[in-house]
Amino acid sequence: MQTLFRIRPSIPEGKSRWMSAVDTPAISLILSGSSTDKIPMVQMTPDIMEAFRSCKIFPLATASRDGEPNVAPMGAVFPRDPATIWIGNQFMKTTIRNIMENPRACLYVWGPGIKGCYKIKGDVMIKTAGDEYETMRREVAKAKPGLVCRSLLVMRITEIYECMPGEHAGDRLV
């Protein structure tokens, strides 16, 4: 396992980052702050990357600044490299509000025909402009003509856990 380090995004106390759930402005929103906590960035193994190809729906968990949880099913979820997952926002409301208040999320990877079960945690940035957003917008339009990708969530993986029942359930994998 290769471990990289980066600065964890943070939102200053009392500050709210808000985006309309209906009309997303054409700007690139990158959550950042002054926190100097180093977070190890981990990489998915080939087996975990393979699980993404077999899965159709991915539950994505977020929480507001106050800890109110939300889980929503995601269909446009793509590993871009072993340390990064892209999630297309076509219909998100609560998820976007939560990410703006608390830029952490947890993605669950499991389903019929998948070897293994994984809980993937990471830091998330929201992008509504730029090359990455335009790439995702085109991919969504190609896969489902008429569907509009309103923004791109870029998840940088920080932890991966085993979810299969048994002796190693809940163990950190990478």
Domain chopping of the chain, boundaries? 44-174
Q: Of the given ranges (39-48, 61-70, 128-137), which has the lowest mean pLDDT?
A: 39-48
pTM of the model: 0.76
Q: Which residue spans within the chain are E strands per DSSP?
A: 4-7, 38-41, 58-63, 69-74, 77-81, 84-89, 104-109, 118-127, 151-162
Q: What is the mean pLDDT of the chain?
A: 81
Choose which CATH entry (3.30.70.1450, 1.10.530.10, 1.10.12.10, 2.30.110.10) describes domain 44-174.
2.30.110.10
Q: Which two three-digit tokens encode residue 39? A: 């977070």
* Confidence at residue 41, expressed as pLDDT on a 0 to 100 scale: 62
Band of pLDDT at residue 13, cut at 50, 70 and 90? very low
